[in-house]
Amino acid sequence: MASLQQRGSGDEGFSETLDELDWNFTYGGQGVGNGSLSSFWYNRNQAHLFGVLLAVTGNLIISISLNIQKYSHLKLAHQGSQNPYFRSILWWCGSLLMVIGETGNCVGYGLAPVTLIAPLGCLSVAGSAIMSVTFLRGNLRSSDLLGVTLAFAGTYLLVAFAPNITQDITAKKVRYYFVGWQFLAYVILEILIFCILLYFYKRKDMKHIVILLTLVALLASMTVISVKAVSSMIILSVKGEMQLTYPIFYIMFIIMIASCIFQVKFLNQAMKLYDMTTVVSLNHIFFSTSAIVAGIIFYQEFHGATLLGALMYLFGCFLSFFGVVLVTRNREKKHLQQSYIDIGEIPASV
């Protein structure tokens, strides 16, 4: 660090950024990167807990909103109404709850690591299954109970063993990460993969679900990076540390909007061609994986994590992924005769 500071006044900003990065990385527990839920962890990471609570609450609200929208479609179909669903007050109530839930997720990204928030989308799928059985008289299967149990067990492991890295995401830090060689190499690789898949999708007319959802996941990684940056800079600005005057904020905001729009396009294409439940489970797995990789590379969230903590975190991801697959497996086939639009069970993508 001292050698960098001796390079002259032109490198002072770079040295200050490195010093800021060095001092902002803090870890809970006795060991570096220890993820145990101790009292020391709680005292040092209250913002993380608040972010997790916001994300969990947001995902549960999303589950409620999806089931309200399902119910509005069922009600219209039962009444034989020819009015479009968007004229239903009940449907708009569900949409409002969806916005509230997604807002909670966005704020959660600003307060806690990406690797901690992104996999919590499994709670939306699990909660939607429970509410569907309770309020919409859906079928309760043994695989649903096992899937929900695994999803909650995986969530506990994710929260317990996610890297306890705490850093204030300032505009200077985002700019430093944005031009770092790790992220540049990652973006180049993503662009190459995206262009290859887009070539097969457009030119060869290959619309396999893996191709479509991989395109969604590649865009989602940029969405997660930009959402965390934008949310964190807004939170810091509200606290009095103005970040909205930096150009990097607006660059990230544009990336967030553009990536979300194209995500919706490819995701809708996948939902038109394949069963909803297949898309739901695979999209959750692909999205969470890409978001975790993005958090590790861009925000360096696994910096200093222990091997045991990393393995337990990956095991928690596996349990939550497997739980989502069990909850959504073969569910669509039992509802093919229902004359309403099943738009539920879509996990939060941001």
Contact 169, 233 (CB under 8 A): yes
What is the helix (H) or strand (E) element at residue 80, kind and residue range? none
Q: CA-to-CA distance for 339 and 328, rounded, in angstroms? A: 20
The answer to whether residue 31 scores a pLDDT higher than 80 is no
Q: CA-to-CA distance for 218 and 213, rounded, in angstroms? A: 9
3-state helix, strand, coil in the chain (%, to 5): 75, 0, 25
Distances (CA, A) of 75 to 83, 85, 88, 89: 12, 10, 10, 12
Q: Residue 85 — pLDDT band, cuts 50, 70, 90? A: low
pLDDT tens string 261-311:
898 888 878 877 887 677 878 888 999 999 999 999 999 888 777 888 899
Q: Residue 36 — pLDDT band, cuts 50, 70, 90? A: very low
What number is the average pLDDT over the span 111-118? 88
Q: Which residue has the higher pLDDT, 47 or 32?
A: 47
What is the helix (H) or strand (E) element at residue 192, kind and residue range? helix 181-202
Structural domain boundaries of the chain? 46-167+306-334, 168-300
What number is the average pLDDT over the span 117-127? 83
- State how far Cα 268 lies from the chain centre: 18
| Coil, strand or helix at 338 | coil
Contact 247, 313 (CB under 8 A): no
What sign for the dihedral angle of Cα 329, 334, 337, 339? negative
